[in-house]
Amino acid sequence: MRRFLALWRARPVLASAFVMACAVTLFFAGRFAVYSVYWATHREVPVEPWMTVGYVARSWGLEPQALGSEAGLPMPQVRGHPQTLEEIARDRGEPVAEVIARVETALTRLREARPAE
């Protein structure tokens, strides 16, 4: 600790840069850990109306574009933000259960078409 204080007095800019670099590293390491734990525990979640196509695809380990095109859904950024399945159903004037059924059918087809890991 004494060496750091001596460095701080001798080179305050260098010591500040080091502290900032450590803070940024801790921030991104924490963010990575939270992200990893979240998606490790949210695998193959049943499809619900509040989910977006991207969320469903990530949960099931698929590409969002592949799932969207297989289910006949719009690209994720049609309105400037990802639409939920409920918003997609409302825009199309059909029950959300039909959209969910199409997504589940597409999930099944894409999972069967994927080579065994």
pLDDT score at 104:
94
pLDDT score at 34:
96
pLDDT score at 3:
83
Amino acid at 10: A
pLDDT score at 72:
87
Task: State the residue range of the domain holding 99.
Answer: 53-113
Amino acid at 74: P
- Positions of the chain with pLDDT under 50: none
Which residue is associated with the tokens 């390491």? 29
| One domain, residues 69 and 99 | yes
Residue 88 lies in a domain: yes
In angstroms, the CA 98 to CA 48 distance is: 12
Residue 73 lies in a domain: yes
Residues 15 and 7: beta-carbon distance below 8 Å: yes
Residue 74 lies in a domain: yes
First to last CA, the chain: 51
In angstroms, the CA 56 to CA 84 distance is: 10
| One domain, residues 61 and 35 | no
pTM (2 d.p.): 0.73
pLDDT score at 117:
55
Report the domain count for the chain. Answer: 2
In angstroms, the CA 86 to CA 67 distance is: 16
